[in-house]
Amino acid sequence: MDGNHDLELILRSRTPIIIIESRDEARILGLLQSIAIRRSTTSYMPLFRWTITDGLQRLDISLEPQSINSEPTDVLKHIRAVSKPGLYVLLDFHPFLDDPVHVRLLKDICIRYQDVERQIVLVSHKVTVPTELDVFCARFDIALPDERERARIVKKTVDDYARDNPGSKVQVDPKAHNLLISNLAGLSYADTARLARNAIYVDGAITRSDLPHVMQAKYELLNRGGALQFEYDTATFGDVGGLSRLKAWLTQRRPAFRGDESAAHLDAPKGILLLGIQGCGKSLAAKATAAIFDVPLLRLDFGTIYDKYHGETERKLRESLKTADVMSPCVLWIDEIEKGIAGRGGETGTTQRVLGTFLTWMAEKKSHVFIVATANDISTLPPELVRKGRFDEIFFVDLPTPEIRASILAIHLSSRDQPLGNFDIKGLAAAMEGFSGAEIEQAVVAALYAAHAKKQPLNSGHIALEIEQTKPLSVVLREKISVMREWAAGRTVSCD
């Protein structure tokens, strides 16, 4: 009703051209028809719809379909020549707004509006109006379905299923039902109905198993810019060796982030910054965070955001962040954030605008989007990003201790179906002094290749040989890593 009322107010404002950017044509036409019917007793105005395929058709009364004036120039000349008031909805007219003839015809209609109330509604996914028409235009943003409307759409879909399948009744898990309604937020009426139908009709039930598919489909509908990636396979913290303090920190904050009643008095956590040595598990920890919160994981790729055209970079970032807001609750993973926000040579101006856009979003966002940013070099990050309050905490991921190296080695052997009893886990872990988690994994992978080449089962000797032949990053970049560890010692919280 609110959307209906707001649209009617704009129609009564006597603006010649109204622009509605939306893909939900059916809903817009429905709103306009209901307004036309309600106004029939006071200020009646006929309602017409135009498309390039069907031409101009009357909508407010039932008539036999009559298509006239399918050509854009013809329909505008027809509207200009009509001597009676009318409301004309032009669907997907945006490609024809570059034609100077069409611009002049629209301007003629607008100028003569005081004589004849001919109002034009331009409906398309995107409408760019020539400058000379700006003064005659008003824009209307159609509201997305609120929680009550989404619940009504889901109920209608349940009723449709029962009608289409006589004798069958949709099995509804109440908690999953509420989550489904919540997770459909941010979509148009048509997309909400389609995703609800997909979830219900596939098995005649609403269960927790439907939610991942709904979120994946929702992401694909929203992320048309391509800067966000939906991570389909998230890790669990069982796949991560060590990081015990980080695991405990996230577990404590899970109820507040999920909005549980028991944590209603707590502020939702905002995010963390993970600093550390390459290969020590920062990216894996980001994936596991989504698993511990039981929400989708989105990855923001700054490399695809930067664009050579002025303003496009900021637009892509705003669209990506808006998508993350709509996907909430979710985890937004920004890998190697220093490469996107720190200096980029000649793009300093663009980088500053990107940083400003990102910081503004962080400060103003109300959605449950938990940020996990990873960085290898904090010295390149701007101070305004790492100051207190931007992130809830800054964690440092250090080289693993002997116990953690043993845990990581066991994880990688078990994931490759190797019996742990066949290996000297403790001795191998001790020999891997200075190895990162990624280097431990690579030692196992290389040893498997060597054992396969010799047609032998993998044993400790194969792994020990690979350890001897490997120069870890902590040796190759000893000085740089020492400086990083010294800096982090008094400024960050250790993950272990």
Tens-digit pLDDT profile for residues 112-145: 998 888 999 999 988 989 999 999 999 988 877 8
Residue 183 has pLDDT above 70, yes or no: yes
Between strands 228-231 and 297-300, the pairing is antiparallel
What the block records as the tokens of 464 is 């020990």
Domain 237-397 indexed as CATH 3.30.310.50: no
The string of pLDDT tens digits covering residues 136-168 is 999 988 877 888 889 999 999 999 998 998 888
By three-state DSSP, how is residue 414 classified?
Answer: helix
Please classify residue 134 by burial: count the beta carbons closer than 10 Å to its beta carbon, then call 0-12 exposed, 13-18 middle and 19+ buried. Answer: exposed
* Residue 276: φ, ψ to 5°: 160, -175
Q: In whole angstroms, what is the distance from residue 259 CA to residue 250 CA?
A: 14
Residue among 255, 181, 178 at smallest CA distance from 218: 181
DSSP state, 347?
A: G
The pLDDT of residue 345: 44
What the block records as the tokens of 24 is 């939900």
**Residue with structure tokens 């824009």?**
139
DSSP 104-130: HHHHHHHHGGGTS-EEEEEEES-----
By mean pLDDT, which of 232-246, 262-276, 429-443 is the weakest?
A: 232-246
Residue 62 has pLDDT above 70, yes or no: no
Residue 234 has pLDDT above 90, yes or no: no
Residue 18 has pLDDT above 90, yes or no: yes
> Residue 233: which pLDDT band, with cuts at 50, 70 and 90?
low
The pLDDT of residue 410: 92
Specify the DSSP element, H or E, that contains 373.
strand 369-375
* 218 CB-side CA count, 13 A: 31
The pLDDT of residue 466: 92
DSSP 347-362: GHHHHHHHHHHHHHHH
DSSP state, 42?
A: S
Specify the DSSP element, H or E, that contains 394.
strand 393-397
The pLDDT of residue 344: 45
By mean pLDDT, which of 20-29, 95-104, 425-434, 487-496 is the weakest?
A: 487-496
> Residue 232: which pLDDT band, with cuts at 50, 70 and 90?
low
Q: Which residue has the higher pLDDT, 120 or 296?
A: 120
Q: In whole angstroms, what is the distance from residue 470 CA to residue 442 CA?
A: 10
The string of pLDDT tens digits covering residues 49-58 is 999 998 998 8
Residue 299 has pLDDT above 70, yes or no: yes
> Residue 389: which pLDDT band, with cuts at 50, 70 and 90?
confident
Preceding amide of 329 cis, omega within 30: yes
The pLDDT of residue 1: 43
The pLDDT of residue 317: 83
In this structure, are residues 60 and 46 in contact, taking their beta carbons and an 8 Å threshold? yes
C-alpha R_g of the chain: 30
| CATH superfamily name and code, 2-139 | P-loop containing nucleotide triphosphate hydrolases (3.40.50.300)
- Tell me if 237-397 shares its fold with 402-476: no
Rounded to an integer, the average pLDDT of 429-444 is 91
The pLDDT of residue 450: 92
Residue 106 has pLDDT above 70, yes or no: yes
Q: What share of the chain is helix, strand, coil (3-state, %, to 5)?
A: 55, 15, 30
What the block records as the tokens of 56 is 């101009």
**Polymer length of the chain:** 496
Domain limits, the chain: 2-139, 147-222, 237-397, 402-476
Domain 402-476 indexed as CATH 1.10.8.60: yes
Residue 260 has pLDDT above 50, yes or no: yes
